[in-house]
């Protein structure tokens, strides 16, 4: 069996994407998805995305973690999916699509894709760390020197520690480098490693920095290993609204995969 795919990246967060509107891809084959994402035995990616039809929006984005299991919202993956769906002729400059957490709006801003996330009205603090769900769960640790952190080791300990035994969590290490600038490194569950960037993670970091009054800006630039993203929001009496993640998204290459039916 052959199927076509495209490899995308958004600030180094990379994804294998298939156009699955005709349901030709074996979407329940989690072992195949994990193999596609494997960097030695497959194409190599932080996650897998299937573009499918949706009755009430431009398309449905089904997202899978690199381990092959269906995941929660992926911010950078969503932006890449919007870019690809537009290339397929499914969208205009302003987009409405469905993801795991419901409907989202997105738009092209020059060469970048801006994604509107859901409002954030709840968060928890524990030993100065902050937990925020921005479509995916994120544990935030504010540090003085993020470059010195052993993200792989410490991130894994927190992600699967006693506090998060059920499903695990993503872990973000955040350094405030200016009044409106953060430097963020992320350990992603499902990938089980540090990724070059995480869209919902930097969004959580920006909101968490504002909650803790480490920054007062509402338009924040975030440096990741893979590039720069921006997060903007409005704070209200009930939380944070108009939460927008913006940054680049671009195709890397296209290809075909041959898989055995055995």
Give the position of tokens 């990938």.
Answer: 191
Residues 196, 202, 204, 209: is their CA dihedral positive or negative? Answer: positive
Distances (CA, A) of 117 to 14, 51, 193, 258: 20, 19, 24, 36
Rounded to an integer, what distance in angstroms lies between the CA atom of residue 184 and that of residue 205?
8
The widest CA-to-CA distance across the chain, in whole angstroms, is 58
The backbone torsions φ and ψ at residue 136, rounded to the nearest 5 degrees and listed phi first, read -135, 155
112-117/181-188 β-pairing = unpaired
Q: 11 and 186 in contact (C-beta within 8 Å)?
A: no
Give yes or no: 198 in active site. yes
- The catalytic position among 198, 229, 231, 243 is 198
Rounded Cα gap, residues 52 and 72, in angstroms: 16
Dihedral sign for Cα atoms in the order 241, 246, 252, 254:
positive
Structure tokens at 79: 């932006």
Cβ proximity of 222 and 182 under 8 Å = yes
Q: Which is catalytic among the residues 51, 74, 82, 95?
A: 74
Pairing state of beta strands 59-65 and 94-99?
Answer: parallel
- Does the annotation count 74 as an active-site position? yes
Contact, 257 vs 26, CB < 8 A?
no
Tokens of 258: 């041959």
> Which positions are catalytic?
74, 198
């Amino acid at each position: 069996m052959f199927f076509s795919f495209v490899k995308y990246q958004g600030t180094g967060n990379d994804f294998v994407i298939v156009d699955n509107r005709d349901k030709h891809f074996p979407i329940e084959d989690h072992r195949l998805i994990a193999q596609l994402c494997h960097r030695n035995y497959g194409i190599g990616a932080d996650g897998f995305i299937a573009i499918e039809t949706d009755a009430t929006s431009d398309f449905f984005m089904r997202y899978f973690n690199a381990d092959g299991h269906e995941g929660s919202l992926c911010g950078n993956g969503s932006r890449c999916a919007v870019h690809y769906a537009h290339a397929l002729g499914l969208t205009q400059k302003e987009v409405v699509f469905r993801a795991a957490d419901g409907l989202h709006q997105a738009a092209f801003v020059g060469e970048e894709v801006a994604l509107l996330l859901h409002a954030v009205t709840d968060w928890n603090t524990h030993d100065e760390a902050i937990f925020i769900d921005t479509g995916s769960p994120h544990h935030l640790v504010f540090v003085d020197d993020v470059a010195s952190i052993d993200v792989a080791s410490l991130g894994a300990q927190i992600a699967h520690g006693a506090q998060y035994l059920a499903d695990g969590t993503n872990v973000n290490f955040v350094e405030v480098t200016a009044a409106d600038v953060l430097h963020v490194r992320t350990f992603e569950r499902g990938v089980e490693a540090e990724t070059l960037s995480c869209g919902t993670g930097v969004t959580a970091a920006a909101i968490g920095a504002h909650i803790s009054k480490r920054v007062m800006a509402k338009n924040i630039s975030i440096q990741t290993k893979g590039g720069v993203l921006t997060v903007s929001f409005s704070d209200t009496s009930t939380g944070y609204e108009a939460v927008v993640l913006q940054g680049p998204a671009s195709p890397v290459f296209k290809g075909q995969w041959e898989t055995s039916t055995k």
